[in-house]
Amino acid sequence: MTNHISVKYTVLKHCYNIPKYLTSGSVGMDVYSANYTDIILNSLEIKTIPTGIRLEIPEGYQCEIRSRSGLVLDNGISIANGVGTIDNDYSGEIKVLLINYSNEPFVIERGMRIAQMVFYPYTKANLELSTRFGKSSLEDLTGRGSKGFGSTGLYDFKDIIKTGEEIDNNNSF
C-alpha cells in the first residue's frame, strides 16, 4: 500500500514543468531545470540549478533531492551534497546543487530532468547529556566504540575470499 500526502506548490514565472512521477511505481518525482539559458557545468564544477517551484511541505515531513541514476551513469552528473534535504519550514525556490564528475563539460538545458525528489516523515531527537552509556563503556557494548570512517572494513569478517582464507576486519590479508 502506498501512502499519499498533499504538498502544495507555487509555480514561479520561469518554471518549465512541475515535478511528476513518470511511472506508477516511481518513488521519486522527476524535477526539471528552469533555467532560461543553457548552463555549462564544467568538470568538477558545482552549480545551483533553478526549478521554478516552491513547496509547502507538511509538518512532520521533509523532501529529499536525489540524483537521477541515468544522469550519473551516462554523464557523471550528480547531486553535489549527496542528498539534499528540504525542511518543511523552507519556503523559497527549490534549487538543485549539481556537480560534474566527468572530464567533459555538460550542458544543462531548460526542461532537463535533473534530479528526483522523495518525501519522508521525520523524527526529531531530544539529545540527553550523558557521561556514560549503560553500565559499561560504549566500546564494551558494541565492540566498535569510537572507531569510525571505515573501521568495520569492506567485508564482513565471516566472508570467505576465493582462496578460502578468512578476511579479517582490518582489511589485511
Confidence (pTM) = 0.78
Report the chain's C-alpha Rg in angstroms: 22
Q: Considering only CA atoms, which of 5, 107, 128 is closest in space to residue 55?
A: 5
Between 142 and 99, the more confident residue is 99
What local confidence, expressed as pLDDT, does residue 3 receive?
A: 86
Average pLDDT, the chain: 87
Residue 10 has pLDDT above 70, yes or no: yes
Q: What percent of the chain has pLDDT over 90?
A: 72
What local confidence, expressed as pLDDT, does residue 14 receive?
A: 98
What is the domain partition of the chain in residue ranges?
Answer: 8-121, 131-173
Question: In a 10 Å sphere around its CB, with 0-12 CB exposed, 13-18 middle and 19+ buried, how is residue 67 labelled?
Answer: buried
Residue 11 has pLDDT above 70, yes or no: yes
What local confidence, expressed as pLDDT, does residue 19 receive?
A: 98
What local confidence, expressed as pLDDT, does residue 173 receive?
A: 44
C-beta of residue 53 within 8 angstroms of C-beta of residue 91: no
Question: In a 10 Å sphere around its CB, with 0-12 CB exposed, 13-18 middle and 19+ buried, how is residue 118 labelled?
Answer: middle
What local confidence, expressed as pLDDT, does residue 102 receive?
A: 98
147 alpha carbon, distance to own chain's centre: 25
Q: Average pLDDT of 124-147?
A: 70
What is the rounded CA–CA span in Å between residue 90 and residue 171? 43
What local confidence, expressed as pLDDT, does residue 137 receive?
A: 53
What local confidence, expressed as pLDDT, does residue 150 receive?
A: 72
Superfamily of domain 8-121: Deoxyuridine triphosphatase (dUTPase) (2.70.40.10)
Q: How would residue 153 be classed by pLDDT, with cut points 50, 70 and 90?
A: confident
